[in-house]
Each structure stands twice: as structure tokens, then as C-alpha cells.
Amino acid sequence: MARALINLPSTARPGEVIEIKTLIQHPMETGFRPGPNGQMLPRDIITRFVCSYDDAEIFVADLHPAIAANPFLTFTTVATASGTLRFTWSGDNGFVQTETRTLTVA
């Protein structure tokens, strides 16, 4: 399991725009870098990040090798109702990691 950091407020007022910051530990090997033996290191990156809020996808990111190691993403959403936010990163070599956070809207 890669270490993932997710920063969002635990409570919000209805209709408030909240900022969500996510960071996950991952080398994001580009596939364009030679290794010690002179051969190119195979590509190993996270290709997709999805954030869903009560099963509705609110933010999707498609990533390419030009994203820095330990991909950091910041985006916003409108706090509509109390619920669960699900964060999923997926990528090369079958990499999948899901984290969930709860948000209380009152």
C-alpha cells in the first residue's frame, strides 16, 4: 500500500465550495529514463485518478509521464450532503488504491 495523504475539511456548510488536496506515494517512472545498465526503465505511472462523492464521479484526472513523482492533485467540489468521498488511483502494473473520507454537511 502506497502512502496517500488526503486533505479536506471534515465539516462544511451546504453549498460551500471545499478544496480537496491529494498526494500519493508513487515513483511515476516515465519510461524515458535509462537505468544503470543503459536500458530504458519500463514505464510505471499512475494513469487515472477518480474522486467520487456518494457514487457520482466529481473529478477525473488522466495522467501522463510528465506528472511529477508522488502525484499531487488539488480540486474543488460543492458540499451538497453528508456522505462519503472515494478516491481511487489506478495505473501500470495493476496498481489500484482506494481511500475513503467522510464529509459532514450541516
To the nearest whole angstrom, how small is the minimum distance from the Cβ of residue 35 to other proteins?
8
The C-alpha atoms of residue 103 and residue 8 are separated, in whole angstroms, by: 8
Number of Cβ within 10 Å of residue 28's Cβ equals 20
| Nearest to other proteins of 1, 68 (CB atom) | 68
With contacts defined by CB under 8 A, name the span among 2-10, 62-70, 81-89, 92-100 that binds other proteins. Answer: 62-70
The C-alpha atoms of residue 87 and residue 64 are separated, in whole angstroms, by: 18
Site for other proteins in 67-106 (CB under 8 A): 67-69, 71-78, 80
